[in-house]
Structure formats: C-alpha cells, structure tokens
Structure 1
Amino acid sequence: MTDRTPAPALTGERADLLAMLTKQRHFLRLTTRDLTDEQAGQRTTASALCLGGLIKHVALTESNWAAFIVKGPSALPGFGQMTEADQAAYADAFRMLPGDTLAGVLAEYAEVARRTDELIATVPDLNAAQPLPEAPWFPPGEQWTVRRVLMHILAETAQHAGHADIIRESLDGAKSMG
C-alpha cells in the first residue's frame, strides 16, 4: 500500500491529448525493441539520424516545451541565437554518444513523459498562453496556449515516430507501424 491517493482519471480534452501522445510515444519506443546499443546508434539512411538519437531529441524537445508551459520563453534560452557550443549540444541530442545506452535513453524519455503527463493533468488552464521566444521561425509577438504547445509536442513525437520506423526498417526490416 502507498500513502498516495491515486489521481482522478482524466476526461475530456486532457484525456484525449494524453491518449494520443501516449500512443505516439509507444510507436517511437517500439522502433527500438530488441536492439543493441550499437544498433540504436547506427545510421541507416542518408540522414544523420539514428533511433537512440531520435528518442534523445524527442525527450529533450518535450522537456523543453513542457518547461515553456510553466516558465515561458525563459525556458528556451538562446532559441533564436545559438552559440557554437549550443549548436554542438543540439547536434549531440540527435545521436548516441559514448557512454549512452539505449536503456538509459529510454529511461530518460520515460521520466520526461511522466513529468509531461503530470503537467497535462494538473495545469490549471489549457488556454493559458506564453509569448514565444524570439526566433526567425516565430512571428514577432506570437503566443502559444498550453493546448497548442501540447499539440506541438504531439506532432513532433508523431513525426519522429515515422522517421524512426523508416530507420528501423532500413536497419533490419522490422516495422512498427505497418
């Protein structure tokens, strides 16, 4: 037994957002089933992407956007003006580095997902908005609601789950979505 009272079941829009995000996370993770660390870091297409790197990237992106919901644009420092060190760190988020393991990458992604799920359940208002950070790809002065940020996280996850499926099929013929 635990001392914690179970959270009430989500309903409505929050339940729908969480169900769709959970499904896309599943497809992304599924692409790594039965792989070694070496396979998770292997490039199989013309792209520089690998399965472990994609999961690292999606976890980092989800974590950053979830922080944006709470802290606003300060959670995405340097978004529009990255230093060389920032660019190198960003590039590293797309690949398996020495010392990275698939189990470790998946555990980090699970922790990020847990925190985001908790945020979806507890954020007071899906209509609350934050100004986007200055960046060439955002119109000046644009704001995103919590809802829009969550839809962005969902779209990003789904897009990369598709990328991961292609990489996995190129690796050994296994498919997760077909």
Structure 2
Amino acid sequence: MGEREELVETLDKHRGLLRHTVRDLTDAQAARRTTVSELSLGGLIKHVAAVEERWGRFMTGGAEAMRGRDGQHGPGNADAWAAQFRMAEGDTLAGLLAEYERVARGTDELVRTLPDLDLAHELPPAPWFPPGTTWSVRRVLLHLIAETAQHAGHADIVRESLDGAKSTG
C-alpha cells in the first residue's frame, strides 16, 4: 500500500470511529449537550465535515479558497464558532452524516488524484499560525487525521455522558 492509501485509510478509520459514536441516536439525542461546552454529537459531525471541506479547498487553492460566504477563513466571531458545534433548526443526524460522507469522498478522491503531496500553500492569517507558514497537502492530511481523532474522542465522552454507550471497550 502506498503513502496516499495509508493516509486515506488512517483518516477513514478515525471518521469511522466518529460515525460509530452516533449510532442509533435520535436527532434530539444528537443535538443534546451533555457537558458545559457547546459540543453535541451532531454538532461534532457538522464541525468535522466543515473543517475537512475547508482544508480540502486549501489543498488545491490555498488560503483564499478556504474563505466562507462571509469572507472569513473560519468562523468569524464567537457566536459563529459556537454555532458550528450545534445542530441548527432543520438539521438531522442523517443529513449531517450524509454531508460528512460527501465531504469524505471528495477528500479521498483529491488525495488519490493530486499530482504531488508536497504541493504547499501559505496558511491563512490566524493567531495560532506563525506568519508566512506553509503547509503541504501531506501536512494538511496529518492535521485532518489528528483533528478527526481528537473529535472522535470528544464524541465518545459526550456519548457516554448522554446514555452510557461507549465507542470502544
């Protein structure tokens, strides 16, 4: 197996752990917060899909391609930031999972077809990125793997708090 397939396989493993955490939930359960944070299980799915899609655009178009409709590279204010972790009115868990699957297929296809994983772009301005820093497609994929794994862990805690179910163990 080559590097690209290893990266796709690893990312998909963590996506699967996250999806497994929301198994058999109603929309109301998926929307419920069980900790003091804004995290809900449906909100985590929504967030991870949006983040993966933004980074997918970065892989081919750089920081400018990450901009949303509001012109921001990410949520522009605290309310927008919190909202990405919540299910909005009309959101369903099935719909969020379908969107996540669509984004995942797009990322996987991109990884398999980009001519060079060393293709790099300058990161968008953000307090957590030193000015002028560049990331390669490979580095973005490592970031997506880490982000997805971290949020799968968050989801496991939220799910256990919700109904006692555990994703592992």
Quickly name the TM-score band, shorter chain normalised.
Answer: over 0.9
Instruction: State the alpha-carbon separation in 2 of the partners of residues 76 and 152 from structure 1.
Output: 15
Instruction: State the alpha-carbon separation in 1 of the partners of residues 95 and 120 from structure 2.
Output: 33
| Residue in structure 1 matched with residue 44 of structure 2 by the alignment | 54
Unaligned runs of 5+ in 2: none
Secondary structure at the aligned position of 1:130 is classed as strand
Asked whether the equivalents of residues 75 and 81 of structure 2 are also in contact (C-alpha less than 8 Å), the reply is: no
* Runs of 4+ with >4 A deviation: none
Instruction: State the alpha-carbon separation in 2 of the partners of residues 76 and 154 from structure 1.
Output: 18
| Residue in structure 1 matched with residue 110 of structure 2 by the alignment | 119
Instruction: State the alpha-carbon separation in 2 of the partners of residues 176 and 13 from structure 1.
Output: 28
Instruction: State the alpha-carbon separation in 1 of the partners of residues 96 and 73 from structure 2.
Output: 24
For residue 23 of structure 1, report the CA deviation from its aligned partner: 0.5
Matched, 1:27 2:22: no
Asked whether the equivalents of residues 57 and 94 of structure 1 are also in contact (C-alpha less than 8 Å), the reply is: yes
Largest Rg, 1 or 2: 1
Choose which of 113, 138, 141 in structure 1 pairs with 2:129: 138
Instruction: State the alpha-carbon separation in 2 of the partners of residues 81 and 109 from structure 1.
Output: 18
Unaligned runs of 5+ in 1: 1-10
Comparing 93-102 and 53-62, the one that deviates more: 93-102
Instruction: State the alpha-carbon separation in 1 of the partners of residues 80 and 99 from structure 2.
Output: 17
User: TM-score w.r.t. structure 2 length?
Assistant: 0.93
Percent identical across equivalent pairs?
A: 62
Asked whether the equivalents of residues 132 and 142 of structure 1 are also in contact (C-alpha less than 8 Å), the reply is: yes
Whichever residue aligns with residue 41 of structure 1, its letter is: A
| Match runs of 1:1-20 below 5 Å | 11-20=1-10
For residue 136 of structure 1, report the CA deviation from its aligned partner: 1.4
Asked whether the equivalents of residues 38 and 82 of structure 2 are also in contact (C-alpha less than 8 Å), the reply is: no
Instruction: State the alpha-carbon separation in 2 of the partners of residues 61 and 147 from structure 1.
Output: 16
| Residue in structure 1 matched with residue 162 of structure 2 by the alignment | 171
| Residue in structure 2 matched with residue 65 of structure 1 by the alignment | 55
Choose which of 46, 52, 74 in structure 1 pairs with 2:64: 74
Asked whether the equivalents of residues 80 and 136 of structure 1 are also in contact (C-alpha less than 8 Å), the reply is: no
For residue 89 of structure 1, report the CA deviation from its aligned partner: 3.5
CA offsets per residue over residues 73-125 of structure 1, 9 Å max, x none?
1022333893x4xx533322110111110000000000000000000100110
Matched, 1:89 2:80: yes
| Compared CA separation, residues 81 and 106, structure 1 to 2 (3 A) | closer
